[in-house]
Amino acid sequence: MSDFNDFNNPQVAALPRHLKQFIVDQHYEHYTPVDHAVWRYVMRQNYSYLKDVAYYPYIPGLQKAGLTIEKIPDLQDMNNALAKIGWGAVTVDGFIPPAAFMEYQAYRVLVIAADIRQLKHIEYTPAPDIIHESAGHAPIIADKDYHEYLSYFGSIGAKAMFSAQDFELYEAIRALSILKEMPDADEAEIKKADELVAWHQENMGEPSEMALLSRLHWWTVEYGLIGTLDNPKIYGAGLLSSIGESASCMQEQVKKLPYTIDAVNYSYDITKTQPQLFVTPTFQNLIDVLEEFADTMSFRRGGAYGLQKAIDSKNTCTAVYSSGLQVSGTFTEFTTDKNGEPVFIKTTGETALAVGNKQLKGHGKNYHKDGFSSPVGKLKGYEKSLEDLTPDELRYAGIETGKEISLTFESGITVSGKVADITTKNNKNVLIKVEKCTVLDEKRRVLFDPSWGIYDIAVGEQITSVFCGAADKDAFLEITYKSKTGTHHPEYDQKTKELHQLYQQVRNRRHNGGDLGFLGNVWMVLQKFHHDDWLCALEILELLDHEGAEPALAAEIKQFLQEKAAAQPEYKKLISDGLYLIKHPVEEKLVV
């Protein structure tokens, strides 16, 4: 990305290439006056309500994240503010794959959907939007314990094994959320997309590590409560950004459970309100539960368990030898000894070798384009592991450049040929290049034939870790899976553009002051051509009420809103809450 904008933020600048591909321009100019009014309405409601139910740093956190009530945040302003607490932010197009989302967190960069919810979804949106991502996630970032958890979660999530079913479900959820945000979405299409999500959720098979981790993420980062079961406070972004659910979640019918590792057993539906929520006593408890889960994962368990998960995944994975050598590719088979320990591993197709997440020179996927195989374990008759032999000990064993070797592993696998090179990294032998090489298993079956070329023996007594993705992602040129479904960007008709103008006129008056007389005309046009609108009417009433102007006009607008709330139940809470804030205004000056 040659035109990549890092917002002069160190965290954003440090992002690797494979993550930059998801970044899109914010296009601030695309936000309409209605969009800004939606933002303002939600933020004022949040500010009024959440000061009592949100975990304490929420309100100061808004300021520390560079957010104001009056306008949708500009990414540059947010980055200027977040940089002070060691974080950054970028905009993306809707849902991105979970593994990429997690990795952004590890780099301490907030991923923010550039779009904003429609007015008809003002209480809750099924799609990620800038209200959810910035007003939900960003304010709590100011809490050190919490942001430590968030970035640590990201580093663990980035290593999680995922399955083909995970991707199919991701695509189905993304498609459904996009459909639901379309202004003129076909109900039959939505029903079909809903059914597809349900089908995928019911046919996931055994949930992958990523699926289970996503549940922990959902019940903490998105929908978490903190405190006691009797008096919890909200810290989850999904709740903080939903003016509907932040209120309803505190009701008794939403069960409150202590947050433990048991939360992985609770799946979730992204399109519905939550039937239960989990309460953590402290943010440290979140880290403790995450540690408990991480101990069950392939990247910590390694061995045959991890290799089998890699094969089941059918994705690029990395197996790490105890020497530090990392083998990245699509794993297709491995063999074990009588104790179940791996003694031979094999990949198919493009494979790369790395140490410390840096690809070894000459060992990229073009060189190992047809796969890679190697023994694992100790040499027979040696107390010391091959990886730990000093140069003198290697020479004593007859393992030196230009010499013929015949190595027998404890597994019975034999390697013979002529040593062409020995690679050592961090005082560990990691690779031995052998010419005219023959590899035989314990039953003398050929595992490698001299006619196949040069053989590279990966050195290491054990497979200590197996994780999803390549070790050196950028060198591997691993294009993380990216959806082909783009979010919907509406084309506005003339009537809608005229409505935008009315909202802009009210906005200009609020910001710039001046005569209020023209608001009667705005109201008249609203009544004549946009009778279904309630938010612009509310904003006009707010101005008139606060300045004690045009009492007859104010009474007429108020009566219209009250009648609308009574006749159309879907607007009742929105209008009532709006009228409440006119009488109990929030502190408007919410700026850094």
Please give the pLDDT value at position 181.
Answer: 67
pLDDT tens for 26-58 read: 999 999 999 999 999 999 988 888 888 898 777
When comparing pLDDT for 124 and 278, which is higher? 278
Of residues 338, 339, 335, 319, the one with CA closest to residue 327 = 319
Gyration radius of the chain over CA positions: 29
Residue 291 predicted with pLDDT over 80:
yes
What pLDDT, on a 0 to 100 scale, did the predictor assign at position 152? 95
Under DSSP, the state recorded for 110 is E
For residue 76, pLDDT beyond 90: yes
Q: How far apart are CA 502 and CA 223, in angstroms?
A: 36
pLDDT of residue 1: 41
How many CB atoms neighbour CB 230 within 10 A? 7
Asked whether the predicted pLDDT for residue 460 surpasses 70, the reply is yes
Assess whether pLDDT exceeds 60 at residue 498.
yes
Give the pLDDT of residue 103: 93
Question: Pick from 77, 114, 110: which is nearest to 92 by CA?
Answer: 114
Give the model's confidence band at 126: pLDDT under 50 very low, under 70 low, under 90 confident, else very high.
Answer: low
Position 382 scores a pLDDT of 94
- Which tokens is 510 given? 């609020």
Q: For residues 355 and 375, give the distance between their C-alpha atoms in angstroms, rounded to a whole number.
A: 18
* C-beta neighbour count of 556 within 10 angstroms: 16
d(CA 314, CA 203): 18
**Residue 203 and residue 169 in contact, taking contact as beta carbons nearer than 8 Å:** no
Nearest-angstrom CA–CA distance, 37 and 44: 10
**88 or 136: which leads in pLDDT:** 88
Average the pLDDT over 140-169 and give the result. Answer: 89
From CA 558, how far away is CA 553, in angstroms rounded? 9
Q: Identify which has the larger pLDDT, 17 or 293.
A: 293
Instruction: Write the pLDDT tens digit of every residue in 465-479.
Output: 999 999 999 899 745
pLDDT-based confidence at 487, cuts 50/70/90?
low
Confidence of residue 592 (pLDDT cuts 50, 70, 90): very low
> What per-residue confidence (pLDDT) applies to 484?
57
Q: Does the pLDDT value for residue 480 go beyond 60?
A: no
**Quick one: tokens of 450?**
């001299």
pLDDT band for 296, please (50, 70, 90 cuts).
Answer: very high
Q: Which residue has the higher pLDDT, 141 or 297?
A: 297
Could you tell me which residues come within 8 angstroms of residue 140 by beta carbon, excluding any fewer than 6 positions away? 55, 57, 58, 61, 146, 147, 235, 237, 240
Find the DSSP H helices in 513-568.
519-529, 535-547, 551-567
The average confidence (pLDDT) of the chain is 91
What pLDDT was estimated at residue 488?
A: 55
Residue pair 169/201 in contact (Cβ under 8 Å)? The answer is yes
Mean pLDDT within 308-331: 96
Residue 10 or 200, more confident: 10
Query: Considering only CA atoms, which of 339, 297, 22 is closest in space to residue 161?
Result: 297
Mean pLDDT to the nearest integer, 179-191: 78
The whole-number pLDDT of residue 436 equals 97
Q: What's the whole-number mean pLDDT along residues 573-583?
A: 95
pLDDT at residue 202 in the model: 78
State pLDDT tens for residues 520-554. Answer: 999 999 999 999 999 999 999 999 999 999 999 99
Contact present, 308 and 318 (Cβ < 8 Å): no
Are 139 and 91 spatial neighbours (Cβ–Cβ below 8 Å)? no
Average confidence (pLDDT) over 14-31: 92
The encoded tokens of residue 131 equal 């209200």
In the predicted model, is pLDDT for residue 174 greater than 80? no
pLDDT of res. 590: 42
Nearest one of 170, 194, 55 to 102, comparing CA atoms: 170
Percentage of residues of the chain with pLDDT beyond 70: 95
Burial track 419-436 (b if 16+ CB lie within 10 A, e otherwise): bbebbbbeebbbbbbbee
- CATH fold, domain 10-162+208-291, is Phenylalanine Hydroxylase (1.10.800)
The pLDDT, as a whole number, for residue 524 is: 96
Distance (Å, rounded) from C-alpha 135 to C-alpha 240?
Answer: 7
Residue 359's pLDDT is 97
Packing angle between helix 494-512 and helix 535-547, nearest 10 degrees? 20
Task: Give the Cα separation of 265 and 296 in Å (integer).
Answer: 14
Average pLDDT, integer, range 566-580: 95
